[in-house]
Structure 1
Amino acid sequence: MSAISKPAGPAAGVDWRTSDFGDDAGWPHTLRLSMDILLGSPFPMLLVWGERRIVAYNSAYAELAGPHHPPAPGGRVPSVSPAPMAVAAEGFRRAAGGEALQLPRQRLTFLRANGPQQLDCDLHLTPLTDDSGAVAGVLCAVAPCAERQLAPPPVGLRVLVVEDNLDSQYLVCEMIKAFGHEADGVAHAEGALDMLAKHSYNVLFSDVSLPGMSGVDLARQALRNSPDMKVIFASGYGEAMLRHVEFPFQSLQKPYEIEQLQSSLDRIAAHGQG
């Protein structure tokens, strides 16, 4: 795995040096991005990382698990498997083999102040691949079933994510789902046009630089057929490639933070879905 510089997202606010993850200045890109998603999500999530199966979780998961659960963010190899891993061990094994899974109505047991309590939850398991393409971890989103939801979900948008880096694509889709929206991902403009022909989307979220057709040309063609669709660009080249774009759009400069993407989607949802 390739090392990166000190992360700038939510994970940067934690001193990881005493955890089993070690100093975050040496983390690979996938771990940094998935940890930012985990800690930035308002919904319960946990992360299982590496051959040692180090576990981290956010405050929403710690609250769901009850007062006897250690506080977030964790960062240890647990002596007792967390409830999702205990109940869905086979699902985690399959996810570690590269399979994205949705496991509905898993009965999890948490230790409350008055003893064990069972809660039905849907589990969403996303494999996380490293720079070599090997699965290095599993990100698990925990959604208490409707009758026990902690809070009503926000009004959802349907978002098409166009990103040729598959690790980033999967993680951005998972991030958008954690915000309460729907997301599909494709790796190039041609695949995006196929998806747009088959499905209706409220938002096109595209990298500006794509193999083949650029993200700008993709958006231009997509808006001819769906003029009410909103466009968000992600660019690592500043605003130079976007100076002469003739249609409305929002842009995020890479590397962007989770809060920036959430704010962009919130603005679109607040003004109607088009």
Structure 2
Amino acid sequence: MPEPSASTRLAAHINWQASDLGEPAGWTHALRLSIDILLNSPWPQLLVWGERQVIVYNQAYVDLAGPGHPPAPGARAPALYPPLLSASLDAYQRARAGTPQHLMNQRLALLPGTNATAIDADLHLTPLRDEHGQVAGVLYAVARSAAPAHAVPDATGLRVLVVEDNLDSQYLVCEMLKAFGHDADGVAHAEGALDKLAGGRYDVLFSDVSLPGISGVDLARQALQKTPGMHVIFASGYGEALLRHVDFPFQSLQKPYEIEQLQAALAAVAGGARIGSGAPNV
């Protein structure tokens, strides 16, 4: 009987049940093969799997992204598009439709802990088909570009309180905000956010709409009673339905959102833009 590959042995020691992929016993052959290839590759690779866009990546990708990146292998549907996917959404959709894509010289943001704030990379997107011939995922292979792309915009330096009960997403959002020069704290629920707000002043409350216990909307309403000048940005996976009757100024982002969308919302805050009451800005 052949000896299991290094990637198969590695996969067997990962708690996949805690991920959005579930136990490997329930995986299709295509998913199992894709993860074996990804984990065994010495080159940076990232897999986007299924309609929920579950993200899996290898250690080489983490090393490229910077020490602030969550550890491999990932395997969660993102609340925030990672820089790699954010930089290539159009190409990702074409790959999902079955056409391989090659993007040269793309600017990817890095997380804190490296000497640079971004790298220029070449991206190669390969559609992965299931046993029925349907595209079930897209595999990214990443290489540093030979030539630079464009300059990184200056940070605006806001104090942001991030309220997100998915701890992986909370960590990633906070680290990305810090990478762009903001001061970010993260909590998992409204009660913790109110404690943070009582102990310090924040420029922006960035909260998921659906939280355990007190909702993000009720949290924002209480926060604005104490700090009327604070700006509110919501993230929601349920469209605008939960925000239709909000009676205070806010911006909103539809999950999953791109880091550029969050930066644009924060730039509007830094620039003193007035956001209309009850008017989501998706």
What is the identity, as a one-letter code, of the residue corresponding to 2:113? A
Aligned to 1:72: none
Aligned to 2:207: 206
SS of the residue corresponding to residue 183 of structure 1 reads: strand
SS of the residue corresponding to residue 184 of structure 1 reads: strand
Matched, 1:142 2:120: no
Contact between 1:30 and 1:167, CA under 8 Å: does it hold in 2? no
SS of the residue corresponding to residue 210 of structure 2 reads: coil
Q: Distance in 1 between matches of 2:230 and 2:184?
A: 14
Question: Aligned in 2, Cα 1:142/1:165: closer, same or farther, shift over 3 Å?
Answer: same
Flag as ranges the 4+ runs of structure 1 deviating above 6 A. Answer: none
What is the identity, as a one-letter code, of the residue corresponding to 2:262? L
Aligned to 1:57: 64
Aligned to 2:272: 271
Aligned to 2:71: 128
Contact between 1:162 and 1:169, CA under 8 Å: does it hold in 2? yes
Q: Distance in 2 between matches of 1:268 and 1:21?
A: 35
Aligned to 2:32: none
Question: Aligned in 2, Cα 1:230/1:143: closer, same or farther, shift over 3 Å?
Answer: farther
Q: Distance in 2 between matches of 1:181 and 1:257?
A: 17
Aligned to 2:224: 223
How far apart are 1:55 and its partner, in Å? 5.4
SS of the residue corresponding to residue 168 of structure 1 reads: helix
Q: Distance in 1 between matches of 2:68 and 2:63?
A: 14
Matched, 1:157 2:164: no
- CA deviation vs aligned residue, 1:49-76 (integer Å, no higher than 9, x gap): 43xx455537xxxxxxxxxxxxxxxxxx
How far apart are 1:272 and its partner, in Å? 7.7
Q: Distance in 1 between matches of 2:212 and 2:233?
A: 18
How far apart are 1:24 and its partner, in Å? 2.6
Question: Aligned in 2, Cα 1:232/1:131: closer, same or farther, shift over 3 Å?
Answer: same
How far apart are 1:151 and its partner, in Å? 8.2
Q: Distance in 1 between matches of 2:180 and 2:242?
A: 29
Q: Distance in 2 between matches of 1:20 and 1:167?
A: 24
Q: Distance in 2 between matches of 1:26 and 1:125?
A: 23
Q: Distance in 1 between matches of 2:202 and 2:175?
A: 17
What is the identity, as a one-letter code, of the residue corresponding to 2:240? E
* TM-score, length of structure 1 as denominator length: 0.53
- What residue ranges of structure 2 are gaps of 5+ in the alignment? 1-15, 23-37, 77-109, 117-150, 275-282
Aligned to 2:178: 177
* Matched pairs, number: 170
What is the identity, as a one-letter code, of the residue corresponding to 2:253? L
Aligned to 2:258: 257
Contact between 1:127 and 1:139, CA under 8 Å: does it hold in 2? no
* TM-score, length of structure 2 as denominator length: 0.52
Q: Distance in 1 between matches of 2:202 and 2:174?
A: 14
Contact between 1:232 and 1:251, CA under 8 Å: does it hold in 2? yes
SS of the residue corresponding to residue 257 of structure 2 reads: coil
What is the identity, as a one-letter code, of the residue corresponding to 2:224? L
Q: Distance in 1 between matches of 2:45 and 2:156?
A: 38
What is the identity, as a one-letter code, of the residue corresponding to 1:128? P
Q: Distance in 2 between matches of 1:198 and 1:54?
A: 38
How far apart are 1:172 and its partner, in Å? 0.5
Identical-residue share of aligned pairs (%): 58
